[in-house]
Amino acid sequence: MWNWQNPDWPTFRYDAARLEPYEQQFLLSSGEVLGAVHHVNRSDRDQLRIDLLSEEAMKTSAIEGEMLDRLSVQSSLRRHLGLAPDSYPSKPREQGVSEMMVDVYSNYSGPLSHDILFRWHDMLLSHDRHLETIGAYRSHEDAMQIVSGRLDRPTVHFEAPPSHRVPAEMDQFVTWFNRTAPDGPEPLRALIRAGLCHLYFESIHPFEDGNGRLGRALAEKSLAQNIGRPSLIALAFTIERERKAYYDQLERHQKTLDVTPWLVWFAETVLRAQQVTLERVGFFIAKTHFYDRHRDQFNARQSKVIARLFKAGPDGFKGGLSAENYISITGTSRATATRDLQDLVEKGALTRTGELRYTRYWIKLDREG
């Protein structure tokens, strides 16, 4: 029996007291994220938003096995946020997910409606010529199943309600979402509401495709409404790192209405996502200070390598930057690479560890700002 076949559907059961410590920590961490963002110069905040939103766009697609072009995503985000565009072309797939992310970010406070969901679906999948229905709920007669394995012996992980039930199910879902909002007649705590919202939506699976990405967007909208501002947390980034556990939890809890373990898992994931965001904001601030300290100190080769190191993110190059990496990135000779790297160490831009062929270089960041 799937959860939607239970006579009590969609009355989910859970232990609210068990979630309370997570709710308290969520509010505390939300304040920390907001405070961290305020430490970013106003002129740099747009770039920070693009960095965080592009990472989420990339990862929410990666969860579904779809790899996007980062530069195209960022170019699309700049345009949809009304910022000065860059010269990089934005491709249809990247443009669609970017447009949806900006819509979720910009219009988080408004009530949910069918039209909003249709608009998001159209943004996300208007490039897909293989879908029967785009910008509307599914209407095909075939069973909507999540399967894996061989074609002749598939494993059915979940079967959603038949298409003819979807309009009524989604009426009920949209009503529930708006009634449980902070200003609704039956408000729910932030993590409980977002966790239920995601599981509830995924269990209806109302669209032909894109349900996972839309379900995560709804969780983001829900969290943003509860804290009264765009959340900007690395939710998809964190889920993508725990993709197997995510699918296992969904599969397990689409067979029951007792969902406390799902809500605990989801709450822990959101709290980890907030910490990732704090790390990323800290990294962004440290990067800004780094360039302020070393303005006009690097040659073209050094600038290219430093940019690549920053592009690798807070964790940097796996195992550190080697002289071979430097030669590969710049196409220069070993003697020039050695000279450039020594110069960067002397200027305090890089630190060096190891000796001889085990020598590695790391960006030297001022984390204190």
14 neighbors 259 (Cβ within 8 angstroms): yes
- The Cα–Cα gap between 28 and 272 comes to 13
Residue 294 has a pLDDT of 96
Please state the pTM of the whole predicted model.
0.89
pLDDT band of residue 131 (cuts 50, 70, 90) is confident
The CATH number fitting domain 297-363, selected from 1.10.10.10, 3.40.50.720, 3.30.70.141, 1.10.287.3510:
1.10.10.10
Residue 83 has a pLDDT of 87
The yes-or-no verdict on residue 349 having pLDDT over 90 is yes
- The Cα–Cα gap between 298 and 237 comes to 33
* Span 283-339, pLDDT tens digits: 999 999 999 999 999 999 999 999 999 988 877 778 899 999 999 999 999 999 999
* Helix %, strand %, coil % of the chain (to 5): 60, 5, 35
Residue 248 has a pLDDT of 95
- The Cα–Cα gap between 92 and 112 comes to 26
- The Cα–Cα gap between 168 and 39 comes to 46
* Span 82-126, pLDDT tens digits: 888 777 887 889 999 999 999 999 999 999 999 999 999 999 998
Domains 3-284 and 297-363 alike in fold: no
Question: Which two tokens mark 134?
Answer: 């785009």
CATH superfamily ID and name for 3-284? Fido-like domain (1.10.3290.10)
* Span 245-269, pLDDT tens digits: 999 999 999 999 999 999 999 999 9
Q: What does 122-136 look like in DSSP terms, one character per residue?
A: HHHHTT-TT-S-SSS
Residues 6 or more apart from 245 whose CB is under 8 A from it?
265
The yes-or-no verdict on residue 15 having pLDDT over 80 is yes
- The Cα–Cα gap between 31 and 26 comes to 9
Question: What's CA 67's distance to the chain center, in Å?
Answer: 13
Tokens 């910009």 sit on residue:
106
**Residue 56: which of 106, 121, 101 has the closest Cα?**
101
Residue 292 has a pLDDT of 92
* Span 172-182, pLDDT tens digits: 999 999 999 99
Segment among 134-148, 219-233, 289-303 with least mean pLDDT: 134-148
Mean pLDDT, residues 26-40: 92
pLDDT band of residue 231 (cuts 50, 70, 90) is confident
Residue 368 has a pLDDT of 47
**Residue 145: which of 163, 118, 121, 120 has the closest Cα?**
163
The yes-or-no verdict on residue 129 having pLDDT over 60 is yes
The helix/strand count (H/E) of the chain reads as 14, 4
**Residue 209: which of 58, 77, 108, 96 has the closest Cα?**
96
Domain range annotation of the chain:
3-284, 297-363
According to DSSP, residue 165 is labeled G
